[in-house]
Amino acid sequence: MNSTHRNIPPARTYNQTHVPRKYTPGKRRISIYWAWSYAWEAQRDLAELDNRYSTITEVRRVLWPDYETPEYDAARFLQGIDGTLELFHRSALSFQALAGEVTGHPVAVFQRVDQAGYPLPIDARILADTDTLLVFGLDTLLSAQAAAAEEIAAIRHWLERQGTCLVIAPHHDVGATPDYAQRQEEYEHHGDPLVPRQQRFGGYTRSLLQALDIPVINQWGLRPAVDPGTGNIAPLTAFRDLDEKGLLTDVTTFNFHPHLPHYALLEGDPKAVQVLARQPIDLQRPHPFTTAGNTEFNCLLRLPPADQRAGDILMVDSTHFTTLFGGTDSLRHFWRNLARMK
């Protein structure tokens, strides 16, 4: 190869039909499913204050001068909400590269409704060549995304296959109250001016949790505590005796993100869901959850195989697979552990 081309990234493809990956013993085939309608999210009325993503123009204004580079100029990059959605896609590339290196398989990326308007429910087209499926619940609740009965049946059948792993990743639920004072308190707690007083996510993943009888729901948008000495995110409280799969091997922290969901356990068998890790909360910023006496939130859950289900189910936030808010060696260890999971 000509030396002048050594640092040029591979050519990108678009609007292609998925090419199934062949099974390789011991090598997981990982897929990401963005459970949003790209079109619905991208075309939200910008006069709406709540329950929408920021535009790139708003991102540029708040984070100036981080995005004042040629690659984010209007001649090259979408400037509306669609540009922000593309930032999420870009921010998952590091995880995709690492997972591909570990497994020897490219990570397949699907969307419930993509940029070109093509719908894709979860069915055999996705599941047949997938061993680990990450379902990213960044769909706004108002968009009314929900798994159809046929999708639930397909997922249940897939989970009967030995070695499968379903990662259900609903994002935060900020301002889920008509009380404006509480919404303001939550806003001041997370401190992100790009997140409105109400931003509720995860309808599709919530429908999966309900249909699969998983007694968990995503709540709040909580700001992690930081180490006063370094300013880095505070270490996880890890329950390593429960970590049969080694997901937390060499992992001390996940990614810092100002508004992370608490995966609350609802009524049901407490042994059915294992809490593998909790994240300490920033107690210097008042929040209803900490006022009630809580100092940590659930950030990594596992449901081991049970009854006819041979596969594992995990819950961890989708932002821990992105680099929008940075990335650490510890987080990469988590990615590697997930990709190698036995």
**What per-residue confidence (pLDDT) applies to 3?**
45
Interatomic CA distance for residues 283 and 224, integer angstroms: 9
Cis (ω within 30 of 0) for the bond into 65? yes
**What per-residue confidence (pLDDT) applies to 295?**
98
Give me the torsion for CA of 209, 210, 213, 219, rounded to 10°.
Answer: 60
How high does pLDDT run on average in the chain?
A: 95
Interatomic CA distance for residues 87 and 209, integer angstroms: 27
Write out residues in the chain with pLDDT < 50, as ranges.
1-3
Residue that has been written with the tokens 């894709």 in this structure: 120
Interatomic CA distance for residues 184 and 173, integer angstroms: 14
How much is the pTM? Answer: 0.95
**What per-residue confidence (pLDDT) applies to 270?**
63
Domains of the chain: 20-340 (3.40.50.880)
Instruction: Enumerate the β-bridge partners of residue 137.
Output: 170
Is residue 214 a contact partner of residue 306, using CB atoms and an 8 Å limit? no
